[in-house]
A and B are shown apart, each in its own frame.
Chain A
């Protein structure tokens, strides 16, 4: 399999080529790391909001604390959409633990006080 992609680790944005498990086109080591992962097991941090019962703040911003497999994005959004927060939260509080068994927690990135 051959694939072309742009490295996003620094502003240069090297055009990388992945072929038979090897990355070429990189100007530094980080390009190889990025390229390999992005082709074989792309991951993303999900940032979103969850619903709350708070009239002043009907949404609370959240993120996954580590990146999760890109292919699970929409499934994870489904889980996120099921949440209804009804108590005070601080930045870092776990909203969903080990979401879809990825090992990632969904944590609050905003403070909410009732």
Chain B
């Protein structure tokens, strides 16, 4: 019997599970995919917003600003990668200057500590690659960028060390209320639990439907497509560039990433199939054209990847964070689209407050702090690299030349408690294959290392999900 089952291992579910693991509770985390953080969390801009955009007096506004604070608070404790980029909201029309001002007012109202207008000249001084036809910008220095799934891995590693049980490949298909507990049926097994945290992202309405007769919200899936530019373009932009939605365009963002890449996108297209993460010609063309209205000389020839994500927008317009009316101890964290990533730690904090308000929560006495991650090999000084290789010689074996990932790092991420034995899983954790050649050189090396560490045949190593072997057949059998 679990005290709580968390459904979904995205950033919201991960922060929720992490908070719960601080208390004397038996908690399980169910993830329907074959790896952690596979939905929205793996396909967004990575921005920790300042809080200038959400409507006043909404949960989105409050928890966005609080989330921004919490990421800073937890940065050291959880080895959270944070790039303190700041942001510009760019206005291209004289009419838009008023909108810029109201955004500034909103930012101040929402509690954003720093938000001020800069002139065209000042803006171009700071960001020479802005388009010359801008009229002014709103500067938001508290905006940051993180690497979302890395945050999830650290959260869940810490939570696992404190008793959290993680179940991958478990899709919730049925929830039944039985006396004083809930019976959750997945495609693999059953879980008995006193409480449920629904953090199922785009599927949070479907999970809610399994137990609620009246559904308070439904998800409107919105797909967004992106370009990923190689880290060799690092320096092209210092800040996140937000468009100002105007009569002319909806606009797309340009976002410098923690590893030096730049993301260009997303667009927003309502779709019917929640799992359709295909990129499209029309979508990518739209993104490209809109981006070129924001910045000049965008280095699109350094594009190494395109991807799409599906957001859990909802008809509810704010975050739906409530305990079920008819099912006690069932909490729905629904409709969490932007600024969900930013708000996630604050949503978890809010959740704990909701729970503690009604039910006793006792902190663990033997709580284990997160074992801080050392910097990636690539970011060490030459001296530090040398010392590390002397201690662990397999750090001297560079497997991914584009992102400078060592054999030791790959082995560690295979064997970690939140590790992986798939090509994409290793890429998510180590960056091997995320560079300019996209694994052209290192994939076969990573595959061999996985096969060796896991005592598997080469043909058993999957690209990602179950049943996606890279190598179909040995020749000359």
Could you tell me which A residues sit within 8 Å of B by CB distance?
Answer: 50-51, 80-81
Contacts and interface: CB of A to CB of B under 8 A. Distances in A.
A80 B476 CA distance: 9
6 contacts: A50-B476, A51-B475, A51-B476, A80-B476, A81-B475, A81-B476
Nearest to B458: A58
A51 B475 CA distance: 9
Interface string B453-477: 0000000000000000000000110
**Which secondary structure characterizes the binding site on chain B?**
loop
Contacts of A80: 476
Contacts of B475: 51, 81
A101 B476 CA distance: 22
B146 to A, nearest CB: 42
Contacts of A81: 475-476
Interface string B342-378: 0000000000000000000000000000000000000
A13 B462 CA distance: 45
Contacts of B476: 50-51, 80-81
A104 B76 CA distance: 69
A81 B474 CA distance: 12
Interface string B116-145: 000000000000000000000000000000
A36 B446 CA distance: 50
A80 to B, nearest CB: 8
A81 B476 CA distance: 5
A51 B474 CA distance: 10
Nearest to A80: B476
A80 B475 CA distance: 11
A75 to B, nearest CB: 15
Contacts of A50: 476
Contacts of A51: 475-476
A51 B476 CA distance: 7
B445 to A, nearest CB: 14
A99 to B, nearest CB: 16
A11 B168 CA distance: 57
A35 to B, nearest CB: 35
A109 B476 CA distance: 18
A105 to B, nearest CB: 19
B448 to A, nearest CB: 11
A35 B475 CA distance: 35
B451 to A, nearest CB: 12
B13 to A, nearest CB: 43
A103 to B, nearest CB: 24
Give the top 6 A-B pairs by smallest Cβ distance, nearest first. A81-B476, A51-B476, A50-B476, A81-B475, A80-B476, A51-B475
Nearest to A51: B476
A72 to B, nearest CB: 18
B471 to A, nearest CB: 12
A66 to B, nearest CB: 23
Nearest to A84: B476
A8 B476 CA distance: 31
Interface string B173-215: 0000000000000000000000000000000000000000000
A98 B475 CA distance: 24
A57 to B, nearest CB: 13
A1 B25 CA distance: 86
A106 to B, nearest CB: 14
A81 B477 CA distance: 8
Nearest to A77: B476
Nearest to B477: A81
A94 to B, nearest CB: 19
A64 to B, nearest CB: 17
B225 to A, nearest CB: 40
B439 to A, nearest CB: 21
Interface string B7-24: 000000000000000000
B476 to A, nearest CB: 4
A63 to B, nearest CB: 16
A101 to B, nearest CB: 22
A86 B24 CA distance: 61
A50 B476 CA distance: 8
A33 B113 CA distance: 84
